[in-house]
């Protein structure tokens, strides 16, 4: 059965409620982005999510939406705590995959002529690639501490400062984590991967602030034209993947036992109020905390490498955390629904939190302007810094896009890039790139992604977040 889309306005498309859908669906996209969102298959996934028990108001898709496992990547859905469910496919395999932006006291001019050496040093010192190992081999006892404490564990071990926790979403720690809910296989996979970048679309990128759109917000975030910054994109590594895999297998069976009629078995889920649902949330929180500790350690190693490679003191470099946001997560949050404040479980899969000015969850320095929202693009595009809005808080459960979003699968990109030297092409554009394997550069070639400017323009014009600054890529390391 084909999916009907009705154009509501320039940036919103409605999937009317029909069949077993409990709510309508809404896609945020331009005409061009809609065509790149997986066609009928992408829209069908949005409609499928609308079948889930306890879903509130709408099944949503952000401007960077593309096909994913069960939920679309870029999908957002909120569920009632009494009647609703939690779905591993609505969180994703890489639990708390996210971005961390660091600003420095340097300008692009300060690294002119030294960029290639700096990228090479980062590639040498920051573990990346499939199966990479981190700087510490965790004991069973210490790993459990990581899963409960998150970023605070890393800070306590000397990887950064306590102030970093203030500018990390949720302070870098999700409550309710229970290591007993994590399988032995997941624990084994996480034991030596802490402090590693990973592979695929994960990266560490040197960027320069190229354009400011909102001077007041940019000043609050400590961003200025010409300033050198670093963006890190990584997640919970093999531990998070294994948690998702474990619970998907259990919930497929569980959904059958409950008699849930799902349009797609990949939407396997459990009631939030059930033991199985609570167990998954406890394991998911462990993986989320692991990811925050991982990015905290990556930031510390990056800072050390900058200082050593450039011969700078910590004060001269002045590297500080602007903000850390997570993408793949399910959180209990409060929102206005039909004139009252309601606590819901919000799934954001490939979507970023976008809280408005004044929200108590934000650091005091950012509260007047809203939450920093970090939106990376492909290897040649750089990134955007946006700010959260009241409109997003009211309409999309405080959510916006998380990146450019793929238009090609990795297999398609590998075929399309055959015979090309992606690294050389980027070098011709002034971007120094290093990767553990040539295959990564081919899979991640710029054309594999949507136009970042268009994705961000839709998010901005639709009121999901507002543009603050654009950052241009200078150098990048990939796994």
Q: Which residues are catalytic?
A: 402
Cα–Cα dist 74/46, whole Å: 10
Reference 12, options 462, 395, 406; nearest CA is: 462
The first and second tokens of residue 179, run together, are: 């290591």
- Helix ranges (H only) for 24-174 are 31-35, 39-49, 115-125, 140-149, 151-156, 163-166
Q: By the 8 A CB rule, do 353 and 397 touch?
A: no
- Give 262-305 as a DSSP string: -SSGGG--EETTSHHHHHHHHHHHHHHHHHHHHHHHHHHHHHHH
Can you state the angle between helices 140-149 and 275-310, rounded to 10 degrees? 100
Half-sphere exposure of residue 357: CA atoms within 13 angstroms, side-chain side: 6
Q: By the 8 A CB rule, do 243 and 283 touch?
A: yes
Backbone dihedral angles phi then psi of residue 246, each to the nearest 5 degrees: -60, -50
Long-range contacts of 409-418 (CB under 8 A, 24+ apart): 410/200, 410/443, 410/448, 412/448, 413/442, 413/443, 413/444, 413/445, 413/447, 413/448, 414/439, 414/442, 414/443, 416/445, 416/447, 416/448, 417/441, 417/442, 417/445, 418/442
Task: Provide the pairing of β-strand 12-15 with 6-9.
Answer: antiparallel
Cα–Cα dist 384/451, whole Å: 12
Q: What is the CA radius of gyration of the chain?
A: 21
Cα–Cα dist 417/295, whole Å: 31
β-bridge partners, 15: 25
């Amino acid at each position: 059965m084909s999916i009907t889309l009705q154009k509501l306005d320039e940036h919103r498309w409605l999937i009317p409620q029909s069949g077993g859908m409990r709510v309508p669906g809404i896609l945020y996209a331009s005409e061009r982005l809609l065509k790149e969102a997986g066609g009928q298959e992408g829209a069908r996934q949005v409609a499928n999510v609308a079948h889930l028990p306890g879903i509130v108001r709408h099944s949503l898709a952000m401007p960077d939406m593309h096909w994913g496992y069960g939920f679309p990547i870029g999908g957002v859905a909120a569920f009632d705590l009494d009647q609703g469910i939690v779905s591993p496919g609505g969180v994703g395999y890489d639990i708390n995959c996210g971005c961390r932006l660091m600003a420095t006291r340097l300008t692009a001019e300060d690294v002119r002529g030294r960029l290639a050496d700096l990228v090479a040093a980062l590639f040498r010192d920051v573990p990346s690639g499939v199966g990479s190992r981190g700087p510490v081999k965790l004991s069973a006892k210490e790993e459990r501490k990581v899963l409960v404490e998150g970023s605070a564990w890393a800070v306590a071990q000397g990887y950064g400062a306590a102030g970093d926790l203030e500018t990390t979403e949720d302070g870098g720690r999700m409550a309710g984590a229970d290591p007993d809910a994590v399988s032995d296989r997941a624990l084994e996979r996480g034991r030596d991967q802490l402090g590693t970048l990973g592979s695929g679309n994960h990266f560490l990128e040197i960027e320069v602030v190229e354009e400011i759109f909102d001077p007041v917000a940019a000043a609050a975030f400590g961003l200025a034209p010409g300033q050198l910054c670093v963006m890190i994109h990584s997640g919970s590594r093999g531990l998070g993947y294994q948690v998702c895999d474990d619970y998907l297998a259990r919930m497929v069976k569980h959904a059958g036992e409950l008699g849930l009629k799902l349009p797609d078995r990949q939407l396997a889920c459990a009631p939030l109020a059930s033991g199985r649902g609570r167990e998954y949330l406890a394991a998911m929180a462990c993986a989320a905390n692991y990811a925050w500790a991982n990015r905290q350690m990556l930031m510390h190693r990056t800072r050390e490498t900058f200082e050593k490679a450039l011969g700078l003191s910590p004060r001269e470099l002045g590297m500080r955390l602007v903000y850390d946001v997570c993408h793949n997560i399910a959180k209990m949050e409060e929102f206005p629904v039909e004139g009252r404040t309601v606590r819901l479980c919000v799934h954001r899969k490939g979507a970023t939190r976008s809280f408005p000015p004044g929200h108590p969850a934000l650091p005091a320095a950012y509260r007047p302007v809203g939450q920093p929202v970090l939106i990376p693009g492909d290897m040649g595009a750089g990134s955007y810094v946006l700010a959260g809005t009241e409109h997003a808080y009211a309409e999309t459960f405080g959510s916006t896009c998380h990146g450019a979003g793929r238009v090609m699968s990795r297999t398609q990109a590998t075929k399309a890039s055959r015979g090309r030297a992606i690294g050389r092409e980027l070098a011709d554009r002034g971007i120094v790139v290093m990767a553990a394997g040539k295959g990564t550069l081919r899979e991640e070639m710029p054309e594999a992604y949507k136009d970042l400017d268009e994705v961000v323009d839709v998010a901005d014009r639709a009121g999901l977040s507002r543009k603050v600054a654009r950052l241009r890529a200078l150098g990048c390391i990939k796994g």
